[in-house]
Amino acid sequence: MNDILPKKPSRIQTRNRRLILDAALEVFSRDGYGGATLDAIAKGAGLSKPNLLYYFDGKTEIYVTLLSQLLETWLDPLIELDAKGDPVEELLNYVRHKLDMALELPLESKLFAGEILQGAPRITAHLTDDLKPLFDRKCKVIQTWIDAGHLAQIDPAHLIFSIWSTTQHYADFGAQTSVLLGTEDPAKRAHAHLEQMFRKLLQPVNQ
Domains in the chain: ranges and CATH: 8-56 (1.10.10.60), 67-202 (1.10.357.10)
Is the pLDDT assigned to residue 178 strictly greater than 90? Answer: no
**pTM (2 d.p.):** 0.85
Q: Which run of H or E residues covers position 190?
A: helix 187-202
Angle between helices 156-172 and 187-202 (to 10 degrees): 170
- DSSP per residue, 169-192: HHHHTHHHHHHHHTT--SHHHHHH
Is the pLDDT assigned to residue 152 strictly greater than 90? Answer: yes
Is the pLDDT assigned to residue 186 strictly greater than 70? Answer: yes
Least-confidence region, from 6-10, 87-91, 132-136, 171-175: 6-10
Q: CA 64 → CA 33, 111, 168, 177, distances in Å?
A: 10, 11, 21, 29
For residue range 44-86, list pLDDT tens digits in order. 999 999 999 999 999 999 999 998 888 888 889 999 999 999 9
Alpha-carbon span 139 to 137, nearest angstrom: 5
Alpha-carbon span 92 to 195, nearest angstrom: 6
Alpha-carbon span 37 to 45, nearest angstrom: 13
User: Do 152 and 187 touch, CB atoms closer than 8 A?
Assistant: no
The DSSP secondary-structure symbol of 86 reads -
Which has more pLDDT, 26 or 12? Answer: 26
Hey, is 157 helix, strand or coil?
Answer: helix
Residue 69: half-sphere exposure toward Cβ, Cα within 13 Å = 13
pLDDT at 7: 63
Is the pLDDT assigned to residue 3 strictly greater than 90? Answer: no
**78-99 burial string, b = 16+ CB within 10 Å, else e?**
beebeeeeebbebbbbbbbbbb
Tell me the pLDDT band of 1, cut-offs 50, 70 and 90: very low
Hey, is 193 helix, strand or coil?
Answer: helix
pLDDT at 40: 96
Is the pLDDT assigned to residue 4 strictly greater than 90? Answer: no
For range 94-115, the mean pLDDT: 91
- Positive or negative, the Cα torsion across 28, 30, 33, 35? negative
